[in-house]
Structure 1
Amino acid sequence: MNGKRGTASPGTATAAAATTATTWLDVAPGHPFGPSTLPYGSFTGPGSPEPRVGVAIGDLVLDLTAAARVLLPPDAGLFAAGTLDPLLAAGPAVWARVRARVTEWLTDERHRPTLEPLLVPAEFTTPRLPFTVADYTDFYASEEHATNLGRILRPDGAALTPNWKHLPIGYHGRAGTVVVSGTPVVRPSGQRRAPDGEIALGPTTRLDFEAEVGFVVGAPSAPGRPVPLAEADRHVFGVCLVNDWSARDVQAFEYVPLGPFLGKSFATSVSPWIVPLAALRHARVAPPPRDPRPLPYLDDTDAEPWGLDLALTVTLNGHPVSRPPFAGVYWTAAQQLAHLTVNGAPLRTGDLFASGTVSGPRRDQRGSLIELTWNGAEPLVLPDGTERAFLRDGDEVVISGTAPGPDGARIGLGEVRGRVSAAPA
C-alpha cells in the first residue's frame, strides 16, 4: 500500500469541493458541520410530527424534504417519506448530484430567500433513526483491541487467534435493536456465571461501551456476486458513529463455541447524522502494513487507500476517558465489505456494518471499558471521586468524532450518546 491519500470514485467525489466552501449562513469558522460536511439525517421539528429529511449546517438543520420540492423537483420524491432509504437506494450518481445541489444552495446567496424559512435550530429538532436498518454486521478490525481482549481473556494463550490476520472476523447482530443516539439503554439480562461458579439469569453487572465507526450501504448488490474492493464506494453511502453496547459477563459465558448473542443483541446506538463518503476524501490514508499479505480478494496493496483518519473521543458522564484513532484499524471498510460478500451474500439498501471497537496502542486510546480497566482490575477514577470498572445505572456515554477536511477544516461526525437505565424490576 502506498502512502498517498486516495480519492473516491468519480461517482462520489465530484461533489466534494477541493477547497473549503463558504456559506451565506452565520456558521462559526471551524464548525464541524460546516459547508464541507453536510451530513444527512431524519428529524421531527416543532409543531410537525411528520419526519423530514434534513441536512445539518452549523447549528441549524435544513429541511431537505421541503427544500427539494421547491429547488429540486425531479428528486423531491427521494425525501418525501422523511427517511434516507430512497436516497440510499438511488446510487452514487444521484448521491453526487444531490450533494452538489445542496452545496450550491448553501453557498450561493441567491438561494437565501428560499431556504431561510426552511432552516430549523438543531436544538429544536428531535432526531430519528435516519434509515431502515436491513442487516447489521459487526467486525473485529482493530488489532490493538483484538490483542488486548486476547490478553485479558486468554492470558496463557496467543493474543490473536490464528485466523485474525487472514480475514476480517465479524458476527451478525440484530437490526431491530439498532437505535438512534439519545435512546435510553436498558440494562440487559442474561445467563452469567457468578464468581462462586453459580449460573444464574439476571441483569448484567459488566455493562460496557464500544467506540466504533459504522458504514451505511446504499446501492444493493446482486445475490451470488461478491463486491470487489474497487467497487466498495459504489455501495457505501456514508459513515456514522456506533456504540455497540456489550454485556461482558453474559458474552463471556455464551460465546463459546458460536460467538456473541445476547451479550450484544440488546442495543446498538448510532449517531443521527450520516456523513457522505464524499465529505471524507481528505481523510483517506493508507492502512497499516499487513503481514501476511491477504488473499487476492482482500489484497489492497495497489488499490486506492480505504484507511480513514478519524479522531474519536469517548466521554463518560462528561469526562473524556479515551481518544481512539481510527486510522490504525487493520481491516478497512472495503475489505470488510469484500469479505462480507465473498460467499455471494447480497447487500441490501440500509445494511449497516461496523468496525468493531477502535483502540490504539496507548491506554488512553482504548475504546472500551474492558480494556481501559483491564476487565475491572484497574478501575477508572472519575473527577467526582467515584470509580468505574463497568457502567452503572445513570451513566451516560458519548462518542464523538472528526476528520480532516479541505484547507485544514475539520469534518464533523457528530456524536452518539446513550444513558444506562436500570433493568426492569
Structure 2
Amino acid sequence: MTETWLGGAANAADHPFGVATLPYGVVVVAGEPQPAVRIGESALLLRPATGALLPEHAGLFAGPDLGTFLAAGPDSWLDVRASVTSWLTDEAYREQLEPMLVPLAGLPTVLPFSVADYVDFYASENHARNVGQMLRPDSDSLLPNWKHLPVGYHGRAGTVVVSGTDVRRPRGQRKAGDGVEFGPSQRLDIEAEVGFVVGPGSPQGRPVPIADFTRHVFGVVLLNDWSARDIQAWEYVPLGPFLGKSFATSISAWITPLAALEAARVPAVPRDPAPLPYLDDTGDSWNLDLSIEVRLNGELISRPPFATMYWTAAQMLAHLTVNGASLRPGDLYGSGTVSGPERDQRGSLLELSWGASQPFELADGSQRSFLADGDEVVMTATAPGPDGVRIGIAEVRGRITPALSD
C-alpha cells in the first residue's frame, strides 16, 4: 500500500480517503471557495499547490469550483492526479505543502461544480421489478422497453444540492379518494443512487460511443434523488416524473475520479436480449463493484450492491447522446435507485416498506414506511482499490425539515 507522509489515519488500510482515492471537492476557507483534494481528514488546497508546483495547470483551479478542471479532460486529470500523488508520498514536498493542508473538521463544503444538466436513469432490474410488482401486480413487472434501453428522464439541475443541505418537505397535488387535495407530501422517500459527473462536452448531433466514456466522465458521487411518491403517483402519467422529484437532489461534496476505480470494475450482468450495437459493451464493461450503505437516523437499513445494475454508466451515456443530444461540462446523471435481490438491499423506502404495506421498525421502536420530519438519511459507499485496500465514495447526507406553512 502506498503511504503518505501525513501519517496517522490517512495511512490506515481501512481509511476510505487514503492516497488511493484522492477525491476532489470545494472547501470554504476564510470565506473563499477553494478547489481541493481530500487526503485522510485534511484537504490540500489546489490553487496554491498547483501555482507553486504545477504552474502549467494552475489555471484549472483559479475559479471558485472544479468546472474548468472538469472541462480540461482526461490528460489534465491524470497529470494532476499523478502530481498530487507524488507530492503527498514524497517527503521532499512536505515542508512546502504543509501550509496548504487544512483540517476538514468544521470546514464548510459547497457544491463542487455548477450542474449544467441533470438526467436520472432507472437502471436496476431489481428496483424496476419491485416497483412494477407493486404498481402492476397482475402483469409483467417490466415494461416491454426496459431491457432494450436505459430508461431515464430529464431532471432539474437547479435543485441539485451538496451533502449536508436540509431538504424541506415538498407540497403538491395528490389524489384523495375520488378527488384531489393539496398539501405536504405524506410519502416522502429516498433513492440510493450513484451519480456520474461529466467533464468535456460533445457537439450536438454527434453521439458519444461506449469507448469514449472515460473521455467525458470524470468521476462519481453518491446521489439521493429524494422522491415525493404521492405527488409523483398523481402527476407522472403520461409524461413521467416532475414535481415529485424536482424539489431536491443531494450529491456528495467530493467527487471520486474514475481513475481511482479501476480495481472496482467487474463484468456486466448477463443481458437478454443482447443490447443493440450502440449499447454493446462486450469487453469494455464499466460495471462497478460499489458497496452502498443507507442509514436512517444513524441506523443501517439497507446495503444496495451497485454491481447488480443491469445497465452501466457507459451505456447510459451512450444512450443519453445517441439521438444527437450534446454534453456540457458539469452535466450530471444518476443511475436510478440501486437495489439488490434481497430485502435488506433495497434502495428506497417504497421497496423496504413494500408501498407502506409492510412498515419496518427502527431500533428506537418507531416504525417507518416513509420519511418523518427530522429524519436524517446518510449514504456511504466503498469499493475495491489497488493492493487490496478499500476506497471511499464520499457520503451524501440530508435531513428533512417541515413543509412551508401557508
TM-score, length of structure 2 as denominator length: 0.98
**Match of residue 97 from structure 2:** 115
Contact 1:55 1:61 in 2 (8 A): yes
**Match of residue 200 from structure 2:** 219
- Structure 1 SS opposite 2:261: helix
**Match of residue 232 from structure 1:** 213
- Structure 1 SS opposite 2:47: helix
Q: Give the drift of 1:197.
A: 2.9
**Match of residue 384 from structure 2:** 404
Q: Give the drift of 1:93.
A: 0.5
Q: How does 1:3-402 map to 2 (within 5 A)?
A: 20-28=1-9, 29=12, 30-45=14-29, 48-194=30-176, 196-301=177-282, 303-402=283-382
Paired with 2:215 and 2:20, the residues of 1 have a C-alpha distance of 21
**Deviation by residue 1:260-298 (Cα, 9 ceiling, x = unmatched):** 000000000000000000000000011101100011000
**Deviation by residue 1:120-174 (Cα, 9 ceiling, x = unmatched):** 1111310100001000000000000000000011111210000000000000000
Q: Aligned AA for 2:297?
A: N
Q: Aligned AA for 1:329?
A: M
**Deviation by residue 1:294-349 (Cα, 9 ceiling, x = unmatched):** 11000112x32210000000000000000000001000000000000000001100
TM-score, length of structure 1 as denominator length: 0.94
Q: Aligned AA for 1:212?
A: E
Contact 1:322 1:365 in 2 (8 A): yes
Paired with 1:148 and 1:44, the residues of 2 have a C-alpha distance of 42
Paired with 1:220 and 1:27, the residues of 2 have a C-alpha distance of 40
Paired with 2:8 and 2:89, the residues of 1 have a C-alpha distance of 11
Q: Give the drift of 1:27.
A: 3.6
Contact 1:27 1:34 in 2 (8 A): no
**Deviation by residue 1:229-264 (Cα, 9 ceiling, x = unmatched):** 101110000000000000000000111111000000
Paired with 1:35 and 1:277, the residues of 2 have a C-alpha distance of 14
Q: Aligned AA for 2:352?
A: L
Q: Aligned AA for 1:24?
A: W
Paired with 1:181 and 1:123, the residues of 2 have a C-alpha distance of 15
Paired with 1:330 and 1:215, the residues of 2 have a C-alpha distance of 16
Paired with 1:349 and 1:21, the residues of 2 have a C-alpha distance of 32
Q: Aligned AA for 1:335?
A: Q
* Structure 1 residue ranges, 4+ long, deviating more than 4 angstroms after superposition: none
Paired with 1:372 and 1:21, the residues of 2 have a C-alpha distance of 40
Q: Give the drift of 1:384.
A: 0.5
Contact 1:396 1:419 in 2 (8 A): yes
Report the RMSD for the aligned CA atoms in angstroms. 0.8
Contact 1:27 1:59 in 2 (8 A): no
Contact 1:312 1:324 in 2 (8 A): yes
Q: Which runs of 5+ in 2 are unaligned?
A: none
- Structure 2 SS opposite 1:124: coil
Q: Aligned AA for 1:356?
A: G
Number of residue pairs the alignment of both structures matches: 402
**Match of residue 402 from structure 2:** 422
Paired with 1:376 and 1:124, the residues of 2 have a C-alpha distance of 38
- Structure 2 SS opposite 1:114: helix
Percent identity reads: 64
Paired with 2:250 and 2:98, the residues of 1 have a C-alpha distance of 32
Paired with 1:317 and 1:147, the residues of 2 have a C-alpha distance of 28
- Structure 2 SS opposite 1:274: strand
Paired with 1:156 and 1:252, the residues of 2 have a C-alpha distance of 18
Q: Which runs of 5+ in 1 are unaligned?
A: 1-19
Paired with 2:150 and 2:397, the residues of 1 have a C-alpha distance of 27
Q: Give the drift of 1:82.
A: 2.6
Q: Give the drift of 1:407.
A: 1.2
Paired with 1:21 and 1:87, the residues of 2 have a C-alpha distance of 25
Paired with 1:159 and 1:405, the residues of 2 have a C-alpha distance of 36
Q: Give the drift of 1:198.
A: 2.5
- Structure 2 SS opposite 1:123: coil
Paired with 2:49 and 2:16, the residues of 1 have a C-alpha distance of 23
Contact 1:65 1:82 in 2 (8 A): no
